[in-house]
Amino acid sequence: MTTCKPGDVVDVPFPFIDAPDKKLRPALVVSDTRIQQTSGAIVLMMVTSAERSHWETDIMLDDWQSAGLHKASLVRWKIFTIDEKLIVSRRGTVSEKDQQKIRDSLAQNLSHWISV
């Protein structure tokens, strides 16, 4: 698998456990490339159209088309780590404007762990 960069949108099978039915779902790469290169793992955030639910911390993507998404989508605060071998394909990259919104949300919601 090619090394994924922060901001890439990739397809991963869901659910991640052994189940007969799996669907490909988009996810946002949030980890630095060093994690993938040293451990083979990658940290992702959920990407969804969220047509039936809304979380206060959802991050709406303004330029969802440039990320390779097929409809209006958002990044949701569901963070998970998977083996890089589970990544099926790369769709695109979120725009710089959307990356800044995500960075702002990460900084706000992880401020306890981040020293500026």
- C-alpha 26/C-alpha 43 separation (Å) is 13
* Sign, CA torsion 85/8/15/101: positive
The per-residue pLDDT for 3 is 85
pLDDT in tens, 5-64: 999 999 998 765 666 677 899 999 999 999 999 999 999 999 999 888 899 999 999 999
pLDDT in tens, 82-111: 999 999 999 999 999 999 999 999 999 998
The per-residue pLDDT for 111 is 87
Instruction: Count Cβ atoms within 10 A of the Cβ of residue 8 and give its class: 0-12 exposed, 13-18 middle, 19 or more buried.
Output: buried
Instruction: Write down the CATH number for the domain with range 8-109.
Output: 2.30.30.110
The per-residue pLDDT for 20 is 67
Neighbouring CB atoms inside 10 A of 42's CB total: 27
Where exactly are the structural domains of the chain?
8-109
